[in-house]
């Protein structure tokens, strides 16, 4: 499975495109299947219908445990580093993790959770989060992890959409110096979630909770007297492994559906190759398991490869800005993966926080989640990697399940701000607005993918038509990524950013409509328009133009009230950085909000507002510009 040179990559890539079925069946043969497939791939992008390893049965956890235990039983699977550096860390060997997963899996069965049931996991970055995810996979329950920074409203939307039977949470969490009472949020969310039969609570902080008899269960009671072996449920290759909600250009987040066989093969293959993991390496991805990066590259990809995966509960700047580098030093981390926003925030603290630590163990540095700017790239390369570690810039999406365009290991060419080349099996194309493939190099276009890879999303939960409309209808016959990209004279790709109404704030995705819906819930507000604009640390930030019922007398108080509403509707992670109160929004005669103009204003580029004469009321623009500057 391992590619070891750039020359070999080029050969393997050609083969993978010329004969994808042979290519992927060779890779898949390295795994334990309970029954082999009848057909490697069947697909059409019209419905869409994509089936990998049809007819095969498998359990992803058998490929983590049963496959790896004979050789690696005493190797650390997870090293958990707590938020508070004074607290003791936790290590779990493959054997210990397996027993905990089985025990909890048996506990889930004992309360009636079975194959196909949806389980919502709303936990801090503690080992129990990984245990809960794997226990679901063990028994074939579908996990839906919700990042523990989302509000009660967002949580209840996701629980309702998936009709989850069970919620797994904790009393509370510590993130940096902050504390959050998760159980209170869950209680609030569950007021309108009739599908939920039980809530399991892990005592993370030994807080008192409002404990509801016949509904709430303590984690420790669920696992009490449970056997530490649980047989793996036999899953169809195309059975759902998990749902993960993500934002798009429409108001409501979508439940992206990933299935068992293809996701397993793809995350394992891409992890091994991109990070060139060797058996004694320590690998650390700083993401939260609430996002796809944590699913694919903290849990599944690394553990399928019998890797040691570091899991960190805290934040980069607590207790101070040296924390990441202290952890790298403490565990002698060899492969390190983080987001550009974290790098930019740490860069701002200066090099003193880096100098005291020994970072010589590092071999490969990864970046993911948003385009990396040249300055952050060089800082990462020179100050963290001391000029010796290649940077692999991983472009992919919740929907793609795994890395798509990237550098590989230490041998592919590096070019700051360019993600790199497509991985084997991935056929990116750049399209014109007229849906023509651009063949030349040194061009820009809409980034689409021409053929399926094993971890492509299969559906959006409960609404397949939405999946078709969002990803397969704009450009007939292609998977549409929503990103614009550039291809250089050597065929290397650079991702420019979203071309739809999606904003990427610190690597987190929000739809403008989603934030507008939240703002419009405020009783002062008539309507609003939200755009993204460049932010030095977050990448992009949120700018809200708001029209209120009456003249706002005190803009400070009104802003505060709107921020509270967004916190309640989505969570603090979606707060606008700027709110501008205006008397009207620029609209076309047909009533469409002209976001392009608002985006220019938010960017401060008022010299290039373009033609405003076709607007319903061009004077609105003059007023907004006057207020904004």
**Residues that bind ligand WT7 in the complex, under the rule CB under 6 A:** 246, 291-293, 368-371, 393-398, 419, 481-483, 495, 497-498, 504, 507, 509
Compare residues 266 and 545 and give the one whose CB is closer to ligand WT7: 266
Taking the complex as a whole, the smallest distance from the CB of residue 319 to ligand WT7 amounts, in Å, to 27
Neighbours of 112 (CB within 10 A): 11
* 69/499 with CB nearer ligand WT7: 499
Q: Of 305 and 506, which has the nearer Cβ to ligand WT7?
A: 506
Nearer to ligand WT7, 245 or 545 (CB): 245
CB of 619 to ligand WT7, least distance (A): 35
Write the DSSP symbol of residue 609.
-
When the beta carbons of 446 and 581 are compared against ligand WT7, the nearer one is 446
Residue number closest to ligand WT7, CB atom:
398
Is 170:92 a contact under the CB 8 Å cutoff? Answer: no
Do residues 193 and 156 touch, judged by C-beta distance below 8 A?
yes
Tokens of 153: 């409203």
- The C-alpha angle with vertex 429 and arms to 245 and 52, in degrees rounded to 5, equals 55
* Minimum gap (Å) between residue 394 Cβ and ligand WT7: 5
Task: For the chain, give the number of residues.
Answer: 629
Q: Specify which residues 269 forms β-bridges with.
A: none
Work out how close the CB of 399 gets to ligand WT7 at its nearest, in angstroms, rounded to a whole number. Answer: 7
Q: Given the structure tokens 């057909």, which residue do they identify?
A: 39
Using the minimum distance from each CB to ligand WT7, give the nearer residue, 200 or 457. 457
Closer residue to ligand WT7 in complex, CB, 166/292: 292
Distance CA 576, CA 545 (A): 10
Smaller CB separation from ligand WT7, 61 or 394: 394
The CA angle 117-261-56, to the nearest 5 degrees, is: 95
Query: Nearest 5°: CA angle at 399, between 397 and 403?
Result: 45
Considering the complex, what minimum distance in angstroms separates the CB of residue 496 from ligand WT7?
A: 8
Nearer to ligand WT7, 319 or 497 (CB): 497
Can you list the pairs that 43-48 forms with residues at least 24 positions away whose Cβ atoms lie under 8 Å? 43/451, 43/452, 45/452, 45/472, 45/477, 45/478, 45/479, 46/468, 46/472, 46/476, 46/477, 47/464, 47/468, 48/467, 48/468, 48/471, 48/472
Which residue lies nearer to ligand WT7 by CB, 127 or 371? 371
Least distance between ligand WT7 and beta carbon 144 (Å):
15
Least distance from ligand WT7 to the Cβ atom of residue 487, Å: 14
Compare residues 199 and 345 and give the one whose CB is closer to ligand WT7: 345
Minimum separation from the CB atom of position 296 to ligand WT7 (A): 8
CB of 87 to ligand WT7, least distance (A): 28
Least gap, CB of 297 to ligand WT7 (angstroms): 9
What span, in angstroms and rounded, lies between the C-alpha atoms of 367 and 344?
A: 12
Contacts of 74 (CB under 8 A, 6+ apart): 93, 94, 95
Alpha-carbon distance of 147 to 123, in angstroms, equals 8
Q: In the block, which residue shows the tokens 């993500």? A: 246
**Closest approach of Cβ 595 to ligand WT7, in Å?**
17
Q: Are 361 and 325 in contact (CB under 8 A)?
A: no
First-to-last alpha carbon distance for the chain, in angstroms, is: 56
Contact at 8 Å (CB) between 60 and 304? Answer: yes
**Are the beta carbons of 138 and 104 closer than 8 angstroms?**
no
Three-state SS for 341?
Answer: helix
Cβ proximity to ligand WT7: between 181 and 373 the closer is 373
CA 13 from centre of chain? 26
Which among 118, 130, 122 is positioned nearest to 188, based on CA atoms? Answer: 122
Both tokens of 74, joined, read 């005493």
Task: Between 199 and 341, name the residue whose CB sits nearer to ligand WT7.
Answer: 341
Phi-psi region of 152 (alpha: psi -120 to 50; beta: other; left: phi over 0): alpha
Q: How far is the CB of 365 from ligand WT7 (least distance, A)?
A: 13
Give whole-number Cα distances, 158 to 139, 250, 252, 369, 534, in Å.
22, 15, 10, 22, 29
Closest distance to ligand WT7 from the beta carbon of 525 (Å):
27
Between 140 and 482, CB nearer to ligand WT7: 482
Please, which residue, 82 or 484, has the CB nearer to ligand WT7?
484
Rounded least distance, CB 406 to ligand WT7, Å: 7
Q: Is 446 left (phi over 0), alpha (psi -120 to 50) or beta?
A: beta
CB of 47 to ligand WT7, least distance (A): 23
Residue of 325, 413, 316 lying closest to 362 (CA atoms): 325
């Amino acid at each position: 499975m391992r590619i070891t040179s750039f020359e070999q990559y080029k050969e393997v890539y050609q083969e993978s495109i010329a004969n994808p079925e042979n290519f992927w069946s060779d890779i898949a043969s390295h795994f334990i299947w309970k029954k082999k497939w009848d057909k490697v791939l069947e697909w059409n992008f019209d419905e869409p219908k994509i089936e990998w390893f049809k007819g095969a049965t498998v359990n992803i956890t058998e490929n983590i445990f049963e496959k790896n235990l004979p050789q690696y039983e005493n190797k650390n699977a997870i090293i958990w580093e707590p938020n508070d550096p004074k607290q003791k860390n936790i290590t779990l060997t493959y054997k210990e993790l397996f027993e905990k997963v089985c025990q909890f899996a048996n506990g889930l069965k004992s309360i009636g959770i079975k194959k196909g049931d949806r389980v919502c996991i709303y936990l801090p970055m503690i080992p129990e989060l990984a245990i809960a995810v794997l226990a679901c996979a063990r028994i074939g329950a579908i996990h839906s992890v919700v990042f523990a920074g989302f509000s009660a409203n967002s949580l209840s939307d996701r629980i309702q959409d998936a009709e989850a039977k069970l919620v797994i949470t904790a009393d509370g969490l510590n993130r940096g110096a902050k504390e959050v009472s998760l159980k209170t949020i869950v209680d609030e969310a569950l007021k309108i979630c009739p599908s939920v039969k039980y809530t399991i609570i892990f005592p993370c902080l030994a807080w008192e909770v409002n404990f509801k008899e016949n509904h709430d269960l303590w984690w420790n009671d669920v696992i009490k007297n449970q056997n530490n072996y649980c047989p793996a449920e036999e899953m169809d290759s195309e059975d759902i492994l998990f749902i993960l909600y993500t934002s798009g250009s429409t108001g409501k987040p979508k439940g992206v559906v990933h299935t068992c066989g293809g996701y397993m093969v793809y995350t394992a293959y891409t992890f091994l190759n991109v990070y060139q993991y060797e058996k004694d390496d320590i690998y650390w991805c700083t993401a939260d398991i609430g996002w796809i990066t944590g699913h694919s590259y903290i849990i599944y990809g690394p553990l399928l490869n019998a890797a040691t995966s570091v899991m960190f509960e805290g934040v980069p700047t607590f207790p101070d800005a040296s924390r990441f580098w202290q952890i790298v030093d403490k565990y002698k981390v060899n492969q390190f993966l983080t987001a550009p926003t974290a790098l930019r925030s740490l860069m701002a603290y200066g090099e003193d926080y880096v100098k005291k630590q020994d970072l010589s163990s590092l071999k490969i540095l990864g970046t993911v989640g948003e385009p990396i700017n040249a300055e952050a790239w060089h800082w990462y390369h020179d100050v963290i990697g001391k000029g010796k570690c290649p940077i692999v810039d991983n472009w992919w999406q919740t929907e793609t399940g795994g890395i798509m365009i990237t550098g590989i290991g230490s041998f592919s060419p590096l070019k700051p701000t360019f993600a790199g080349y497509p991985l084997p099996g991935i056929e990116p194309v750049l399209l014109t607005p007229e849906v023509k493939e651009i063949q030349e190099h040194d061009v820009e276009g809409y980034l689409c993918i021409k053929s399926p890879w094993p971890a492509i999303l299969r559906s959006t939960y409960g609404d397949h038509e939405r999946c078709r409309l969002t990803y397969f209808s704009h450009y007939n016959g292609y998977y549409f990524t929503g990103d614009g990209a550039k291809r250089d004279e050597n065929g290397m790709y650079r991702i420019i950013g979203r071309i739809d109404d999606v904003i990427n704030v610190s690597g987190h995705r929000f739809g403008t409509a989603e934030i507008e819906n939240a703002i419009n819930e405020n009783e002062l507000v008539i309507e609003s328009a939200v755009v993204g604009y460049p932010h030095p640390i977050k990448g992009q930030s949120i700018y809200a133009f708001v029209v209120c019922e009456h003249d706002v007398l005190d803009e400070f108080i009104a802003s505060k009230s709107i921020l509270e509403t967004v916190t309640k509707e989505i969570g603090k992670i979606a707060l606008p950085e700027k709110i501008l109160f205006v008397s009207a929004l620029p609209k076309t005669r047909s009533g469409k909000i002209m976001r392009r103009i608002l985006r220019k204003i938010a960017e401060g580029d008022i010299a290039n507002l373009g033609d405003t004469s076709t607007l319903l009321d061009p004077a609105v623009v003059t007023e907004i510009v006057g207020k904004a500057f």
